[in-house]
Amino acid sequence: MKVQVYGTGCANCKALEKTAKKAIDELGVDVEVEKIEDMEKILEAGLLSVPGFAVEGDMKSMGRVPSVEEIKKWVKAKM
């Protein structure tokens, strides 16, 4: 399984990547965190504001840093 963190490198984008990794570590599952910084790919994903978070390409949040618990819930739902 793969999750995507969309962002241009801003503080919130970095915070989301860190939060996503923490959530996955707490779940103890084998999930790849893919960081997408290419603006063209960010726009293709339909993001209106960064950071964005997706599970297997399914956009779950944009423009905010979701909590560890939210991310864990989204990842578990795709397993």
Asked if 7 and 13 count as a contact pair (C-beta separation under 8 A), the reply is yes
User: Is there a catalytic annotation at residue 13?
Assistant: yes
Asked if 59 and 52 count as a contact pair (C-beta separation under 8 A), the reply is yes
- Burial level of 14, CB count in 10 A (0-12/13-18/19+)? middle
User: Is there a catalytic annotation at residue 48?
Assistant: no
Catalytic residue, from 13, 24, 47, 75: name it.
13
Catalytic residue, from 10, 15, 29, 43: name it.
10
Positions annotated as catalytic residues are 10, 13
